[in-house]
Amino acid sequence: MITSQSNTTQWRKRQAALGFVRVEVQVRKEDASLVREIANALGDPARHDATRAILRQKITRSPSKSFKALLASAPLEGIELDRPSDFGREIDL
């Protein structure tokens, strides 16, 4: 006789083989059904791509630029970037 625990273990192994992982989250009671619907849509092959695209567009942050990229895209016209050479003051010995 197969126990309930071994059925669950086998089901989880099959899901892992398909690329699924178990995730536990805590949300407000009124958001629980929404989170379940999102999870179902991501798990459904017919809705997966569209759901993922919408979530990435609306929820995730755009990748931040590096400091070098920010400097390269900055409007630097009219700004003097050369510094005068200053060798300091003379010291009498």
In this predicted model, what pLDDT tens digit does every residue of 45-91 receive, in sequence order?
Answer: 999 999 999 999 888 877 777 888 887 888 878 877 788 888 888 88
In this predicted model, what pLDDT tens digit does every residue of 16-49 receive, in sequence order?
Answer: 998 888 889 999 999 999 999 999 999 899 999 9
Q: Is the entire prediction scored with pTM above 0.75?
A: no
Predicted pLDDT at 53: 93
Predicted pLDDT at 52: 94
Predicted pLDDT at 76: 77
CB atoms within 10 A of CB 51: 18
Distance CA 34, CA 27 (A): 10
Q: Which amino acid is at 8?
A: T
Are the CB atoms for 38 and 55 separated by under 8 Å? Answer: yes
Which residue carries 């990748």 as its tokens? 63
End-to-end Cα separation, the chain, in angstroms: 98
